Amino acid sequence: MRQIETGEITRAVKEAAIAANYDLGEDLLAALQRGEQEEESPSGREIFRQLLENASIAGQERVPLCQDCGLAVVFVELGQEVHIVGGDFQEAIQEGVRQGYGEGFLRKSLCHPLTRANTGDNTPAVIHTEIVPGDRLKITVVPKGGGSENMSRVFMLKPAEGRAGIIDRVVTTVREAGPNPCPPIIVGVGIGGTFERAALLAKKALLREVGSPNPDPELAALEQELLQAVNDLGIGPQGLGGRITAMAVHVVMQPSHIASLPVAVNIQCHASRHKEAVL
């Protein structure tokens, strides 16, 4: 049994929260560079250039990529051979978010749903914990912006709607979102499970390396068809028109009840921010 101190967890979450808001991943930078080369619209190419310049400035000057520093979503893979010592596990994560958003000068965006009073420290974070084999603890911090999250949807389709129904809902969701999620976007799609499970699958799909091939040939083909259909909408970078509305569509699927076909669409803006730490 391996012991991990809660202080280590707090420190890892703090550093990941700051880094996620300052530094785009290499996969996303490469996707933006491809977009600048491939976009047919002059205004669209200029948007890609500006996004790359913005990322460079944020990284060099250690400032947030976007004024919306997001609600902190934290994915945890906890090895079953790990023993957490020194305090409460979930509170250690919340404290890491609290410190990261304070020390990193990141905007605190959480508020009471009705009074709209700000919580003041961007907590509570949303924590998803999965118990896995091994003696490691993997923490992924995902700052999720409100503009893209607001455009996300969950559908409970009739099973007979099948593949065509899934494509229709995904494309309709992106069409109705228009410029609001700050395209070029990444589209996470969760299929199957239950109402809440489909939404979680869609969010986890956003963590995959941007544009990397899906290991399931059936889903890889579906992703390509969805990406083509989404980009045929012509919304373009920042909604100004163009060829590239989405840089990638990522699909995760699992079995569902015989009477159900849950489908979730979780949209992510061009600043697909997430950083991980392994303890």
Per-residue pLDDT, 254: 98
Per-residue pLDDT, 1: 87
Query: Residue 215 corresponds to which amino acid?
Result: P
Q: What Rg do the C-alpha atoms of the chain give, in angstroms? A: 19
For residue 98 the two structure tokens come to: 């609290």
Say what percent of the chain tops pLDDT 90: 99
DSSP the chain: -EEEEHHHHHHHHHHHHHHHHH---HHHHHHHHHHHHH--SHHHHHHHHHHHHHHHHHHHHT--SSS---EEEEEEEEETTEEEESS-HHHHHHHHHHHHHHHTT-----B-TTT--B-SS--PPEEEEEEESSS-EEEEEEEE-HHHHHT-EEEEE-GGGHHHHHHHHHHHHHHHHTTTT-SSEEEEEEEEE-HHHHHHHHHHHTTSPTTPPPSSHHHHHHHHHHHHHHHTT---GGGS--S-SEEEEEEEEEEE-TT-EEEEEEEE-S----EEEE-
What stretches in the chain show pLDDT beneath 70?
none
Average per-residue pLDDT for the chain: 97
